[in-house]
Amino acid sequence: MKKLAIMALISLLAVSAIAAGGSKEAADSGNVLRVAMECGYAPYNWTQPTDGNDAVPIADSDDYANGYDVMMAKYIAESLGKELEIVKLDWDSLVPAVQSGVVDCVIAGQSITSARLQMVDFSDPYYYASIVCLVKKDSPYAGAKGVSDLAGATCTSQMNTVWYDVCLPQIPDANILPAQDSAPAMLVALNADRVDLICTDMPTATAATVAYPDMLLLDFTGSDDNFEVSQEEINIGISMRKGNTELRDAINEALSKLTVEDYNEMMDQAISIQPLAQ
């Protein structure tokens, strides 16, 4: 589906959600939906200098945000009858921002983990992201068919993620370097040959192979030698303050109008317009 068709679908579904009354209470509770994200985690979200490709202004900034999370935030805000405000925060500030009420929700590629569920509430998944690895095409690990083939690799990933905390320790005899503070930083580490591989999710890896053509995606899905993760660790959700059932229910009502195919088409669109892909 082309970009215009995707945007038309989102607008149509948003209007339908409001007409159905599913988010009326949330729409009456305020006019602005404040959504936090890193604005530095393509293809989920990134920062750009113009409003090209329907980018959204970043609060207190001259820059704009775009990406899959921005597309989803626009859809959610429209469904709730609210104006969208994007708040740019670093990864470790996202959960505290929700807890303190600085923002209404976080749409930033967060896995719905048990640890996070102790701190915030989550919507139903708005994306399902399998876990993969990235190596250089000329890497001795380029032919790996499973996790055991990565034995002894020097590796890293983004801090406070399933990729770093759960997956990398499963690599036999791995030399795990300190976690990187952002997704771009881990890609730079691989590109600069400071590590043999990084662990991430499928959308991030797919986008990276567009931005860095010498990177190779390793996907062990369907193999008996894959990373062992729970379903919660690959379900991506929208987080909000604990007990905010009104917002959670309104967001879930909006998400119920979308399908997995819609999610995938939106993600493909985000990958196609990410700045480094042009």
| pLDDT, tens digit, 9 for 90 and up, residues 164-207 | 999 999 999 999 999 999 999 999 999 999 999 999 999 999 99
Report the pLDDT value the prediction gives residue 129, as an integer from 0 to 100: 86
- Give mean pLDDT, residues 49-77: 98
- Residue 276 tokens read as 């480094």
Which of the following CATH numbers is that of domain 131-231: 3.40.109.10, 3.20.20.10, 3.40.190.10, 1.10.10.10?
A: 3.40.190.10
Interval 112-128 mean pLDDT: 94
3-128+234-277 adopts what CATH topology? D-Maltodextrin-Binding Protein; domain 2 (3.40.190)
> What are 212's two structure tokens?
């860095």
Handedness of CA 222, 228, 234, 235 (dihedral sign): positive
All CATH 3.40.190.10 domain ranges of the chain, comma separated, are 3-128+234-277, 131-231
Residue 234: pLDDT band by 50, 70, 90 thresholds? Answer: confident
Question: What's the whole-number average pLDDT of the chain?
Answer: 89
Q: Which two tokens stand for residue 145?
A: 């068919």
pLDDT cut 90: percent of the chain above it: 81
Tokens in use for 220?
């062990």
Average pLDDT over residues 36-46: 95
